[in-house]
Structures are given as structure tokens and as C-alpha cells.
Structure 1
């Protein structure tokens, strides 16, 4: 080998080693950067025997990456649902204390139990005004709890609706950023440039997108990527698809939330042909459109059952039952056995039994709450202070089976007390299941992320070892050049 050829090889070796050191330095800098994938310089041999860097490769594992996207989307959906149910639980104190401790547990079931206990005490002392006042206070507490629960559920639905709008805006923003990075990847791949950093950015955007909506991807020629929602709708192909949603200003029990559309096709709601399966967006729509309305139906049925249980009947046998201690604005009759949307928010204690509103406490014992001017609804004919038949009848109504709308999901024939208890049990089961699902999915996401990091992330020990090897190689090449230079100097001196 001539000195000229040896010098050229050694000189080119220095450039190659410098390029490799640059790649290793990038890896070391990215060791604590989330989503950074290890880069490797692709070294090849030229025709004259020298080494050169022909490109930079990036560590990938398509299966693990797709698993991480799926785990991220599923965990996000579970977290949203669990958080929403926790908000209701905390606002209403459904799981606080014991079922009979109404100082902390403000569930309708606990307060109904307290009302039953107050009525039993009243039956033992029907002439005691203080005991009668306790019944009235307990009744007000039940009505207020139902009112608060109704308001809490609708506030949660409204907040979920607002969060859906924010999620849709974020999805559109991410897709717009993805278009820019994807174009850079495709153009760079076509030109043979190093696009590994752009690929890192693209994967990071996909990870952010997957928390909002479950996605799957397909990579085409030149690293061009297509994104689909996990329900099948196309989110990105060369350009972003339009994701739209019309938010509602406020919510009542009869309000139906709007669907999310991708290119005009619904991907949420009952009419969705390609319904999304995971992601924050799916969790929010599940909370707004399924779980919260179901609990609202149960609250409304509890309120309706309460009105029916305390209704007064015409003692002459001619008139229809009328709302007694519990009623609602504009009530003229007792509602039939079907859900009345929003009834839990409208139920009140009849003013005719409330002295603070001009009523008479004795009507709790004697009847006539529904219409004081109509004697047909008064249960006692003597007006004796020791009369307890009506009170005992009200106590028995807590355990007497009545019809409920099966659409609320708790059966069609239960007692008022059993229905309220079943509703509480249903809610707690939903909350526990959501919490357990979130915990499991969080663990799965952590394990999947770790597996992906182990497969594609930076091992600092390996990179430091490579750096030391490259420094030694650099020194060897530099010594070779120095030796060649000495040989040339000796040759020139000899000549």
C-alpha cells in the first residue's frame, strides 16, 4: 500500500470516527429523554478500503410500540371514567362512613334509612312536636340529597362535554403537527437524509394522540404513515382528517350529548358505525352518555318511588292518589312507574306539612298534606293526638314492593329501601370496577413502556463503552497519520 493511499484511508477514518462519536453523543444526551430511540451509525467500506458512515439507523420495535399506544389509550379511558365516578362519590359522600351514619354518608339510601327511623320514633310519640320536627328535617334531607345528586350528575356531564371539546381540539392540533413532521420524514427519506430525530418526534406525537383517542398505524413507502382510529375511521392520510364536535352549553337530565365526527362520520354515540374503543375521548363519552345518565335514571326513580310511597289516597275511595309529604312543582298526581327525567332535581317536601312555610306538622300524623281543603285525604276522623295508623303505614311503605322502570337497570319490582340500596351498590360497583381497571391498565402501560424502552432506549453503559472504543480508534488513526507524516518527512530529507 502506498503512503498516499494509507494517508487517505487514515484521514477518512478520522472523519468516520468523528461521525460515529457524534451519534454516540446524541445517544448519551438522549438517555433521559422520553421516547428517544437509540441511534446507530451505519459504517461501510469504500472501494479503497477506507471506512465511511453511510447513514444513521434508529432502534425500533413496531409490535411493542403499537402495544404501548394501545395501553396508553386504554389507560386514559379508564382514568377518565374512574375520576368522574370519584367526583360524584366525593360530592355526595356515597362511600363515607357507614350506611346509617348520615353525618358523613349523605347517600339517598342512608338518608332514607334515617327518615324511616325518625318515623318509627314518631309512631312511639305521635303527639311529640319535637319528634315530628325530626321527621320533617329527615324528609328535607332526603329531598335535598336527591336535588344535590341531580345537580352533581349534570355538572359532571357538562364538564365531560367541555372536556370532549378540548380533546377534539387537541386531536386536531396533534394531527396538524403530525403532518409537518411526517412530510419531513418522507422528504428526508427520499433524499437519503438522516430522519431519525424526525421519527422520534413523530412517535412522540403518536403517543400524545393515543391518550386522546385509540389509534392504529400503517407505514407505507418512504416512511409515510397513515393513522386510523381504533374504530376504523381514517384520522390521517397525507393530510389530517377533520375531527369536529359541537359542545352543549348546559345539561339537564333530558339532554342528549352530541357526537364526535371524523370527516362527517360519527365515531361516538348510538349511531356511530365506527365507534372508537379507547382513549380519553371514549372515556368521556362513556361517562357523559352512559354511566352518568344511568345513575341519573336511578335517582329519578328513587324520587318517583318516594313520592309514590308517601302519596295520600282518597279515604272515600273516589279520588286518585295525590302527592303527600313529597311532591314536585306543578304536581297534580302521582307519576306512573316510568322514569321522569330530572325528577330527582325537582322533588321537594310539601309546604303543607312545613310550619316554616305555613304548613302544619300534625298533617304528618293525620294526613291531608296533599290538599288541606279536601277532608277526603285526612286519615283520622277523630283527630286524636295518639293516632298512629298513618305513621305506621308510612313506615311500612319503605319495605312494600312497588313498580320501577327496568330501564334504570335495577329491576321492576322492589321496595323503596331496597331500590335505594341497590342503586348505591350499583354505583359503588361501577366505581370500584373503574378504579381497578385504571390500576391494572396503569400497570400494563408502565410495563409496556419499560419493555419498549429496554428494546429501543439508550443503555448508558453501552454508549460510554462505545465512546471509549471510538476515542481509542481516533487516537490510533491520528498516530497512523503522524507516522505517515514522519515517513514523508524522512523521504523528502533523503531526496
Structure 2
């Protein structure tokens, strides 16, 4: 072997050892960086001799990473649904919650019992009227919160769509960067791509084609292109208001499109899961179902009070005219409210009473109590066909809402657990073991020293030959 070949081989070994040390140091420096995947130097034989660096490879586990993305999509949807149902359950209130509908109506029934004991008492009649107004006010407040939830979900969709479009633009820029010649270099383009894809996957179900660090392509689970040669923007228009009579089916709310194709959940190519699909579910299904249950309960209360009052077609609770929800239109009959020109004695004697009845008379109070205690099914509110008193109906509605919230919480915890499991498995196969990296650094140091010693020895031999 010639001196030139010896020097060339040893120099290439020095360069490879130096670059490998740089890769190992880069791994150690990023050992605690979220999502970082271990790098390794790929080398090959060089001509006429020695070695050359071919590239820097990033550890990957294709199937596990795909499963991790899918788990992220499931968790994204589960988080939104669980939060929404938890909010609904908290707003409606447990039986012991003094601000809940069940407690409000229980106070009304107690006021009814008190009035039956002293029907001649004007202060007790007024307390009874106030308790009834508290019930209608609670219904209205709950419906307002339900519509506010729908509007918040609509606004969240708009915010998420804007963020997803920004992420697609950034991914497109990274794709362009990946197409430019970069040689053998250490960079975190792949990690940034993966982080952006994970962010997108939490909101909608996507498939990834290509390798992180290079050019990637994104499609929805339905096959629609999100990112190819250029990004395809998601399009959504936020609503300005939400009320019971407004719905997506009637064209009052916007759907979601990409590249002109409709991907609104429920359509042929619609989103199946993820945070975006869940926000649509909150806006168009979950909050609307809750509002419909409240409406059924409000209409039932008006119907029961009308049956109990034999003096008028309407009872103590009535539904005012209009197109808004029954929960919003439920109010105390103006005929019994002095503030609206009514007569307070009518809470005892009936809405159609012209003059006050006997001061110690029970009036319609006994009939009202009997009708409220009467067992009647109301599946539109409770989800069950069981015959229940009105207070039991509210209790069953609260139980149904609590069950839904508990079930959603269980699904959320399961989704979190699944994603954490996949994340650990991916980390175990692609993460950095600093002990191993340090051991390899020692071996690299030895290889570097050996190649340096060969060059030093060859240099000494050449110097001695030149001195002869």
C-alpha cells in the first residue's frame, strides 16, 4: 500500500469518526427533546479506498408511528366530547347542587307544600310565586348555556381551521426545504414535520405518505388530499349567533370543505374522528340533544300545570308565543304575577279566578300537587319509558346526563392511555439511550485516535525516508 493510500484511508477514517462523534453528540443533546428520534451515521466504502459518509439516518417505526397518529386522533375527539358532556352535567347540576334545575324544582315543591299549610298567607303566596319564577329562570339559563356551548364549538372550529391551515403552509415550506440539496447534515426538520402532523392528526384523521425529513403528503382518511405539491386549505365560516331554531341541516351553520369537497362529519367523505369532528358533534348533536331534553321537560311542566288548573286553559306555568325553545318560552302565567298586572291570589285559586276564594281554601293547590306527583313517561327528556313524577323526571334527566358524562370520561381515559402506550413504544425504539451513546463516543474516540496514530506514523516514516 502506498503512503498516499495510507494517508487517504486514515484521513477518511478521521472524517467519518469526527462526523459520527458529531451525530452522537447531537443525539445526547436532544435526548430530552419531545419527539426526537435517534440519528445514526451511514457509511460506505469509498474509491479508491477508505470510507465515505452516505447520510444521516433517523430511527423510525412506521407502523407504530401510524398507530400513534390514530391514537392521537381518537384522543383529540374524546377530549372535546368529554369536556362538553362534563360541562353540560355541571350546568344541569346534581340533585344536591343548589343552583341546579332539580334543586330549583325541589324548592318549588317545598313552597307548594308551605302554601298548602297556610293558603291565606300573602307572604307565602309571594314566596310560592318567586319559587315558580326561579324554576322558569333556571330553564332559561340552562338553555342559554346550551346555545352558548354551540356557539363556542362553532368558534372553536373556526380557530382550529385557521391553525390547521397555518400548519399545512408550514409543512409545505418544510417540504420545499427537503427538496433542496443538503448533503450530510444534522437538523430537526423531521421532528418539526412530525410535530405538525401530530397536531393536525389530533384534529382530523389523516394518512401520511413519505418519510419525515423528506417530502411528505397528507390525505384525509376519506382520501382527500390535504398536502401534495401545495396545501389544500380548509374552508369554514363562523356563525355570529346560535339559538334553538338554528341548525346546520337548515343551512344556518357552516360545514367544512377542503379543495371544494365537503368533509363535514356525517357526509360521504366527512371526518370520522378527531377534535374537529367532535366540535361539530358538540355544535350539532350533543348540545342540541341537551337543549331538546330541556325543551321536553319545560313543555311537560306547562302541560301538567294546565291539567291541574280547572279554571283556565293555562296553568301556573305557560309557554309564551314565539319560535324559540320551550325552555326559553317557559314562564309563570302573568295572570298570577302582580308585577305584570295579575292577581297574586290566583296562585292558590287558579289562573281563571275572578275573585279570591276562601282564605283557608286549597284552591287548585291540591290538584297541582297531585298532577306533579302523577307518574308519566317522558322519554324525550329522560331516555326511559318509565312513568315518573315530575321531580323524578328531572332526577332521571340528571342521571342520564351524568351517565353520558361518565361514559365520555371513561372513553377519554382509555384514549389517553392508548396514546401514551404507543408513545412509550415509539420512544423505546427511536429514543436516545444516553449511556449507549456515551459508550459509542468512547469507541469513536478510540477509532479517531487509531487513525490519527496511523497518519502520525506514516508521516514519521516519510520524514525518515526523505532524510536518507
TM-score in terms of structure 2 length: 0.91
Given that 1:294 and 1:409 are in contact with CA atoms closer than 8 Å, whether structure 2 keeps it comes out as no
Measured after TM superposition, the shift of residue 294 of structure 1 is 0.4
Q: Which residue of 1 aligns with 2:250?
A: none
Give me the whole-angstrom Cα distance separating, in 2, the residues matched to 1:195 and 1:484: 33
- Provide closer, same or farther for how the CA distance between residues 232 and 410 of structure 1 changes in structure 2, counting only shifts above 3 A: farther
Q: Which has the higher contact order (CA 8 A, sep 6+)?
A: 2
Mark the CA change 1:267 to 1:407 in structure 2 (over 3 Å): closer, same or farther: farther
2:292 maps to 297
Determine if the alignment matches structure 1 residue 486 to structure 2 residue 460: yes
In the other structure, the counterpart of 1:476 is 450
Match of 2:344 in 1: 361
Equivalent pairs, count: 463
Higher mean C-alpha displacement, 414-423 vs 294-303: 414-423
Note the C-alpha offset of 1:404: 4.9
Residue 31 of structure 2 corresponds to which residue in structure 1?
31
2:16 aligned partner:
16
Cα offset, 1:298, TM superposition: 0.8
Tell me, which stretches of 5 or more residues in structure 2 are unaligned? Answer: 248-252
Name the stretch that deviates more: 161-170 or 438-447: 438-447
- Mapped to 1, the partners of 2:24 and 2:265 lie a distance apart of 50
TM-aligned CA deviation for residue 105 of structure 1: 3.4
Q: Which residue of 1 aligns with 2:83?
A: 83
Structure 2 match to 1:334: none
In 2, distance between residues paired with 1:407 and 1:322? Answer: 24
Shift of the alpha carbon at 1:206?
0.6
Q: Does 1:281 align with 2:292?
A: no
| 2:93 is the counterpart of 1:94 | yes
How far, CA to CA, are the matches of 1:47 and 1:29 in structure 2? 34
Match of 2:230 in 1: 239
Q: CA RMSD in A?
A: 2.7
Closer, same or farther: CA 159–175 of 1 in aligned 2, 3 Å:
same
Instruction: For residues 108-166 of structure 1, give each alpha carbon's deviation from its aligned partner in whole angstroms, at most 9, with x where no partner exists.
Output: 22322222222123222222333323322221111111011011111111111001001
- C-alpha distance in 1 between matches for 2:260 and 2:282: 23
Pick from 262, 273, 288 the counterpart of residue 258 of structure 2. 262
* Kept in 2: contact 1:310–1:324 (CA 8 A): yes
Q: Does 1:214 align with 2:205?
A: yes
Structure 1 position 170 matched with structure 2 position 153:
no
- Counterparts in 2 of 1:36 and 1:238: CA distance versus 1, 3 Å: same
Distance 1:312 1:89 in 2: 31
Shift in Å, 1:286: 1.0
Deviation at 1:300, TM superposition (A): 1.0
**1:95-174 pair list within 5 angstroms:** 95=94, 99=95, 101=96, 104-174=97-167
Q: Secondary structure at the match of 1:239?
A: coil
Q: Is the 8 A contact 1:14 1:478 kept in 2?
A: yes
Q: Deviations over 1:14-47 (max 9, x none)?
A: 1111111121122122212112111110122224
Counterpart of 1:343 in structure 2 is: 326
* Separation in structure 1 between the aligned mates of residue 121 and residue 406 of structure 2, nearest angstrom: 44
- Residues 1:413 and 1:234: Cα distance change in structure 2 (over 3 Å): farther
**Per the alignment, do residues 232 and 115 of structure 1 end up closer, same or farther by CA in structure 2, a change over 3 Å counting?**
farther
Query: CA separation in 1, counterparts of 2:370 and 2:381?
Result: 26
Is 1:445 the counterpart of 2:419? The answer is yes
1:400 aligns with 2:374: yes
Match of 1:336 in 2: none
Is the alpha carbon distance of 1:105 and 1:433 closer, same or farther for their aligned partners in structure 2, counting shifts above 3 Å? farther
C-alpha separation between the residues in 2 aligned to 1:59 and 1:314?
77
Offset at residue 361 of structure 1 (A): 2.5
SS of equivalent residue, structure 1 residue 240: coil
How far apart are residue 433 of structure 1 and its match?
A: 1.5
Distance 1:205 1:293, change over 3 A: same
Deviation of residue 84 (structure 1)?
2.2
Counterpart residue number, 1:335: none
| Structure 2 residue corresponding to 1:418, chosen from 384, 387, 392 | 392
| 1:306 equivalent among 293, 301, 305 | 301
Range that drifts further, 144-153 or 36-45: 36-45
Distance in 1, Cα, partners of 2:459 & 2:72: 59
> Could you tell me how far 1:312 is from its partner in structure 2?
6.0
TM-score by length of 1: 0.86
Distance 2:58 2:310 in 1: 86
Q: Is the 8 A contact 1:73 1:280 kept in 2?
A: yes
For residues 145 and 314 of structure 1, the distance between their equivalents in structure 2, rounded to whole angstroms, comes to 23
Structure 1, gaps ≥5 residues long: 332-339
Shift in CA distance, 286/421, structure 1 to aligned 2, threshold 3 Å: same
